[in-house]
Amino acid sequence: MEETNQIKSALKTEGFAIIESIYSNAEVAQILNLIGNTDKSNDTFRKSSDLFAIRQFLKEIPQIKHLIFNNKLQKIISNLFGNDFFVVKSIYFDKPAKSNWYVPYHQDLTISVNKKIVGLENYTSWTTKQNQFAVQPPLQILENIFTVRIHLDETNEYNGALKVIPKSHLRGICSASDFKEEEVVCNVKMGGIMIMKPLLLHSSGKTSNEKNRRVIHIEFSNQILDSALNWAERTEYNVPYFLDSRLK
């Protein structure tokens, strides 16, 4: 329970937390094997020399779900957030060994929805990516999302680990220029996870050590959207009841 409280405190005050050893080496290998053997011809797959990505990841590879939501991850979600959250977005990223692009500081301000409704109150900045609608929802929706980043490689400052500005999620919609605080590099070992709030300012640097950075990015919410909209990727998952509430 003490560890759970420490993680809750870090998420609330800093906007992120890192938890190691959620997946064994064998589990990581199984996940990568399923990804590697998947048909990559669909529009949700993005393939280029410096990025491979799968949007709607859990829908594209549904058989991977039981590996992703192992007992450790389900227990963490249950202990930290309760059992009323569901998946609203899932993406797989592979930043290859020779990738030389970087992502500047930003917040994750859009959600994936089932259709576009121009003029819908408090829903702005509509876009479409690979036949999927995205929109910036009311701030309350964004504040009640959390993201789990599953690391399938050891990730550090040399192969694109996230850099974040702690506490920036507490300032609503903002930019890096609003802060004087120093950035923090979020090194995560293979099989570990990073949990973060989408309003946390974050960036990613270039790769300089010729090592991959493969990450599964999953967003969760317990919010109901405007009655005219639905989450495009809403996916339920089974969270078993745990008598022992301690993280292990």
Q: What is the pLDDT of residues 173-196, one digit of tens each?
A: 999 998 988 899 999 999 999 999
- 22 touches 192 (CB < 8 A): yes
pLDDT level of residue 2 (50, 70, 90 thresholds): confident
- 2 touches 245 (CB < 8 A): no
> 246: which 2 tokens?
């301690």
> What is the rounded CA–CA span in Å between residue 186 and residue 164?
7
Q: Average pLDDT in the 136-143 region? A: 97
The domain spans of the chain are 2-221
Picking from 176, 212, 216, the residue whose alpha carbon sits closest to that of residue 193 is: 216
What CATH class does 2-221 carry? mainly beta
Beta pairing partners, 17 = 195
Phi, psi of 48 (to 5 degrees): -150, 180
Which tens digit of pLDDT belongs to each residue from 80-94? 999 999 999 999 998
**pTM of the full predicted structure?**
0.92
Phi, psi of 222 (to 5 degrees): -125, 20
Which tens digit of pLDDT belongs to each residue from 103-121? 899 999 999 999 999 899 9
Other beta carbons within 10 Å of 156: 16
Q: What is the DSSP letter of 23?
A: S
